[in-house]
Amino acid sequence: MAEYTEQSIVAAINEGAHSVSAIARAHGVKGNPSGSVCKRIRTVVPGVGELIEQAKAGEPVGQPEQTPEPEQTEATQPQAEHKARAVRNGENGSPFRPGTKIDLVYQAGAGTELRPLTEVLDEVAKSNEFKALTKDKEGKTLPLGTYPKGKDRGSGRRQRAYWQYTMIASGKHPTNDYRVRSVEEGRGLDNKQARFEPVPENEREQARAAAQAKAAEKAAAAATA
């Protein structure tokens, strides 16, 4: 039976496993998986339900995009002392591939001033660039739609913009991988103000190490439960 890793679970979702049971079967489980197996999957990828919903809606679920490291020359050799820096490759420090949905959302909310979150997301959802990227399975542009609220999952381009925001706000999301964060004030989508910023590299490594240690601890506890 295959080992459950973040990469293997995301791969299974991309290949059509749109439930926790289907993910388990993609890893070699026969029939209905046990509760401990389902718990292990949710422990390894805490946001697995969200990833499944995105995949069902036709949104690709992937690992963090890799930004190639610039080739070092004599002039760019690291100095003995250096300030903490964040991994960034685009305007406003975006580490995401330019022109992608998450990059558009990040660019709209990046900066030093807090803005109403719905204002940021509406700016993106109504843009021509985002319209071109958010189409249904028949290739038609999605309507503007609504934001998730309560039990309502939302719809259309606003729902898709909100999904991109959740990846930015959740450092542990595979697409983010602790590269950026959302600095926020207020509670609830209608009252929340936010701004997005890169995470300094030293803080990113600390967060990743802490998350990996916690996930390993939970996986060990689930395996012995």
The answer on 145 and 42 residing in a single domain is no
The answer on 183 and 143 residing in a single domain is yes
pLDDT of residue 132: 93
Total number of domains constituting the chain = 2
The answer on 186 and 94 residing in a single domain is yes
CB 190 within 8 A of CB 162: no
The answer on 191 and 98 residing in a single domain is yes
The answer on 183 and 112 residing in a single domain is yes
Rounded Cα distance between 225 and 223, Å, is 6
- Report if residue 136 sits inside a domain: yes
| 26-32 LR contacts (CB < 8 Å, sep 24+) | 27/1, 27/2, 28/1, 28/2, 29/1
The C-alpha angle 57, 59, 63, rounded to 5 degrees, equals 140
The answer on 154 and 57 residing in a single domain is no
pLDDT of residue 34: 85
- What domain range is 144 assigned to? 83-204
The answer on 52 and 89 residing in a single domain is no
Tokens coding 97:
């591939």
The answer on 110 and 11 residing in a single domain is no
- Report if residue 190 sits inside a domain: yes
The answer on 50 and 89 residing in a single domain is no
- Report if residue 211 sits inside a domain: no
The residue among 85, 62, 89 whose CA lies nearest residue 164 is 62
- Collapsing DSSP to helix, strand or coil, 211 comes out as helix
Residues of the chain with pLDDT under 70: 1-2, 58, 60, 62-92, 225
Q: Calculate the alpha carbon distances from 130 to 7, 98, 198 in Å.
A: 27, 12, 22
- Report if residue 224 sits inside a domain: no
- Report if residue 212 sits inside a domain: no
The answer on 46 and 94 residing in a single domain is no
pLDDT of residue 197: 93
Q: Which residue has the tokens 């890793």?
A: 5
The answer on 58 and 88 residing in a single domain is no
pLDDT of residue 73: 47
- Report if residue 72 sits inside a domain: no
Q: Calculate the alpha carbon distances from 143 to 150, 153, 165 in Å.
A: 21, 15, 19
The residue among 212, 113, 104 whose CA lies nearest residue 161 is 104
The answer on 188 and 100 residing in a single domain is yes
Give the type of residue at 185.
E
- Report if residue 143 sits inside a domain: yes
Q: Which residues contact 181 (CB under 8 A, 6 or more apart)?
A: 168, 169, 171, 196, 197, 199
As a whole number of Å, the end-to-end CA separation of the chain is: 19
- Report if residue 145 sits inside a domain: yes
